[in-house]
Amino acid sequence: MSASASTTEPLLAVKDIRKTFGGLVAVDDFTLELAPGEVVGLIGPNGAGKTTVFNLLTGVYKPDAGSISVRGVDTGWLSPDRITGLGIARTFQNIRLFRDMSVVENVKVGFTPVKRQSILGAVFRSPAFRHEEKEIDREATELLELMGLQDLASARSASLAYGQQRRLEIARALASRPKVLLLDEPAAGANESESADLQQLIRDIRERFDLTILVIEHDMPFVMSLAKRLLVLDHGVTIAQGLPETVREDPKVIEAYLGQEAHQ
């Protein structure tokens, strides 16, 4: 697998993107290439622009400068749903489940880019439609089992505990069969043992679904053990990148974190 990784083009290539909101430069000259199978951590103090990077990658925001391509396709002015269709899926820092829908229905929405149903087929309950629905049912149940949520399938998503909601978001993201998975603070609010379980879960799904993962996380031990490579953002600028051990020693990184803590 590693042999092929070096010859293929990057799954995700971000070149010098920049985003400003009014006078504030949220992300400045951000560059990133993700090779197939990589797990990369995106860290930095609060307000460093990490989630803005996710929003740029998924098309919620359009960069003011620079380019983003997913699997060789320039995402330029593609709408977020088209970009998702290219094989990129994400979770949200502030959980965005469909609150009025059940747990399993939330996952089923995730199949939108990969399971096309004809409207007439749906209205007239054609055999093809019923077959498709059964398949969606089965695959959604599989994903819930993987996340340990199968017993809650028909519960209202808003009634789930915080950690369960985060796992449901991952299941929902996996439904679109992404190549690249963007995780926005998956371990937020988790205690030590939950965080360890989550690490194992993320390793498992990476293996199983052949994923490339970009993860934002504040939990340092978590991200250091998971990611082979780290990028550190501060005030929108990439101040360091490389192996976790090197990044940890980087004076600029230490200053960014300690400086922020000093201000708090």
Partner 1 sequence: MDFDKLLNFWGHHLVMAGVWIALALSLNLINGFTGLFSLGHQGFWGVGAYVTAVVLTVLPAEMGWADAGMLSFLMTFPLAMLVAALFGLIVGVPCLRMRGDYLAIATLGFGEIFRNIAINSEWLGTSQGLSVPNVFRAFLQEQIGLERMAARRAEMFFYIALSWAVALLTLLLLRNLMRSAHGRAITAIRDDETAAELLGVNLTRYKVLVFVLGAALAGLAGAVYANYQRYVSPNQFGFMQGVIFLVIVVMGGMGSFSGTILAALLIYAVPVFLTFAPDTWVIPIFYDPTQGGVVHRSLKDLWQVFFSLMLIIVVLLRPQGLMGNREFSLVKLWRRLFGKKSESASTSGEAGA
| Interface segment toward partner 1; rule CB under 8 A; list 4-12, 39-47, 74-82, 212-220 | 74-82
- Binding flag, residue 112, partner 1 (CB under 8 A): yes
Q: At its nearest, how many Å lie between partner 1 and the CB of residue 39?
A: 21
Name the residue nearer to partner 1 (CB basis): 160 or 227.
Answer: 160
Among 19, 50, 108, 179, binds partner 1 (CB under 8 A): 108
Which two three-digit tokens encode residue 230?
């780290």
Q: Which of 208, 101, 98 is nearest to 147 (CA)?
A: 208
Q: Are strands 88-90 and 180-184 parallel, antiparallel or unpaired?
A: parallel
240 phi-psi bin (left φ>0, alpha ψ -120 to 50, beta other): beta
Q: At its nearest, how many Å lie between partner 1 and the CB of residue 100?
A: 6
Give the type of residue at 12. L
- Binding flag, residue 192, partner 1 (CB under 8 A): no
Name the residue nearer to partner 1 (CB basis): 162 or 209.
Answer: 162
Q: In a 10 Å sphere around its CB, with 0-12 CB exposed, 13-18 middle and 19+ buried, how is residue 20 labelled?
A: middle
Q: At its nearest, how many Å lie between partner 1 and the CB of residue 255?
A: 33
DSSP 160-202: S-HHHHHHHHHHHHHTT--SEEEEESTTTT--HHHHHHHHHHH
List, edge to edge, every strand of the sheet that includes 212-216.
88-90, 180-184, 212-216, 39-43, 229-234, 237-242
Could you tell me which residues come within 8 angstroms of residue 62 by beta carbon, excluding any fewer than 6 positions away?
56, 77
Backbone Cα Rg of the chain: 19
Q: At its nearest, how many Å lie between partner 1 and the CB of residue 190?
A: 11
- Binding flag, residue 172, partner 1 (CB under 8 A): yes
Residues 14-73 that bind partner 1 (CB under 8 A): 58, 60
Q: At its nearest, how many Å lie between partner 1 and the CB of residue 46?
A: 18
Residues 77-96 that bind partner 1 (CB under 8 A): 79-81, 84-85, 89-90, 92, 96
| Binding site residues, partner 1, CB under 8 A | 58, 60, 79-81, 84-85, 89-90, 92, 96-101, 105, 108-113, 115, 117, 119, 122-125, 129, 132-133, 136, 154-156, 159-164, 172-173, 176, 189
